[in-house]
């Protein structure tokens, strides 16, 4: 884990969490708060899945542009542009990674629940998991702030769900709308560009931000603030790494090497 000391960043922290929820290794200041950027999306998605199980909405509830549903917004297939609230394609036809889609998702959840999204997320997700240092300070697509300690708790939940039916998590972390191609930000066009419900699926994408030895079932997210969280079900572990340097070629170089080192240490 000390490989992280070689990263060209001012501050970084990391943790590896077993399938049983134990932190089996950590390095750096795991209580330091970092901006998550798009690692906010899995947190938003999980709150949406809780809302679905609570009956606030359904995956098929209309939301976003005409013809789009909650499912489309979660899977980046609503047709909305990256950052603009305008439709660029018919729902379900292309994988267009969209911050605007997650903002419209949160708006729909607030409308149907009668509770501001940030409040709903804090009460339904952060509080039950003891994520006391995590806040949503801006867009539900990119505005969360958290710590490695808090995200380790979330990583444990992803591997052994207590807030959701495991079948719901399984659906969210398997491919939804299979076969669609699209651009993986920072890594170019991918065909197919597989996603679940708020989680990117590793599959056989190349290049990719996880490791060469990450299983195709690996899911998670990375953020433009130099952050990532992945879960590898085949390895029986998850990894969180947070930094304070914006994503760039440095991350595309060191993250896969680090992930492969973690997997090697786990014997995966």
Q: Is the pTM of this model over 0.85?
A: yes
Is residue 268 predicted with pLDDT exceeding 70? no
Output the pLDDT for position 2.
79
Of the listed ranges 15-19, 77-81, 150-154, 182-186, the least confidently predicted one is 182-186
DSSP string, the chain: -GGGGGSS-S-EEEEEEETTS-EEEEES-TT--EE-GGGHHHHHHHHHHHHHHTTS--TTSB-SSTT-BHHHHHTT-S-B-SSSSSB-S-TTS-B---HHHHHHHHHHHHHHHSS-HHHHHIIIIITTTT-TT-EE-S-TTT-EEE-HHHHHHHHHHHHS-SSS-HHHHHHHTS-SSTT--EEETTTEEESS--B-SSSEE-TT-SS-SS-TTS-TT-EEEEETTTEEEEEETTTTEEEEEEESS--SHHHHHHHHHHHHHHHHHHT-
Q: How confident is the model at residue 59 (pLDDT cuts 50, 70, 90)?
A: very high
Give 196-214 pLDDT, tens digit per residue: 999 999 999 999 999 999 9
Q: Is 23 left (phi over 0), alpha (psi -120 to 50) or beta?
A: beta
Superfamily of domain 2-266: DD-peptidase/beta-lactamase superfamily (3.40.710.10)
Is residue 99 predicted with pLDDT exceeding 90? yes
Task: Give the start-to-end residue ranges of the domains of the chain.
Answer: 2-266
Cα separations in angstroms, 221 against 6, 210, 225? 22, 10, 12
More confident residue, 50 or 184: 50
Is residue 45 predicted with pLDDT exceeding 70? yes
């Amino acid at each position: 884990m000390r490989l992280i000391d070689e990263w060209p960043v001012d501050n970084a922290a990391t943790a590896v969490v077993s399938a049983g929820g134990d932190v089996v290794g950590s390095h750096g200041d795991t209580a330091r708060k970092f901006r998550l950027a798009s690692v906010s999306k899995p947190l938003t998605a999980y709150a949406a899945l809780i809302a679905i199980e609570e009956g606030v909405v359904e995956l098929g509830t209309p939301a976003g542009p005409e013809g789009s549903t909650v499912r489309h917004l979660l899977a980046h297939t609503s047709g909305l542009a990256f950052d603009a609230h305008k439709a660029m394609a018919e729902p379900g036809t292309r994988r267009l990674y969209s911050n605007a889609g997650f903002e419209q998702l949160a708006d729909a959840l607030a409308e149907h629940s009668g509770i501001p999204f940030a409040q709903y997320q804090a009460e339904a997700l952060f509080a039950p998991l003891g994520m006391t240092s995590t806040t949503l300070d801006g867009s539900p697509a990119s505005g969360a702030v958290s710590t490695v300690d808090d995200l380790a708790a979330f990583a444990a939940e992803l591997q052994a769900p207590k807030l959701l039916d495991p079948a719901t998590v399984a659906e969210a972390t398997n491919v939804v709308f299979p076969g669609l191609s699209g651009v993986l930000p920072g890594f170019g066009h991918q065909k197919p560009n597989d996603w679940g419900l708020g989680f990117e699926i590793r599959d056989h994408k190349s290049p990719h931000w996880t490791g060469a030895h990450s299983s195709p079932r690996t899911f998670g997210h990375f953020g433009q603030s130099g952050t990532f969280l992945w879960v590898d079900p085949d390895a029986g572990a998850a990894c969180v790494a947070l930094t304070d340097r914006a994503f760039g070629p440095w991350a595309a170089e060191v993250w896969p090497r680090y992930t492969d080192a973690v997997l090697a240490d786990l014997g995966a």
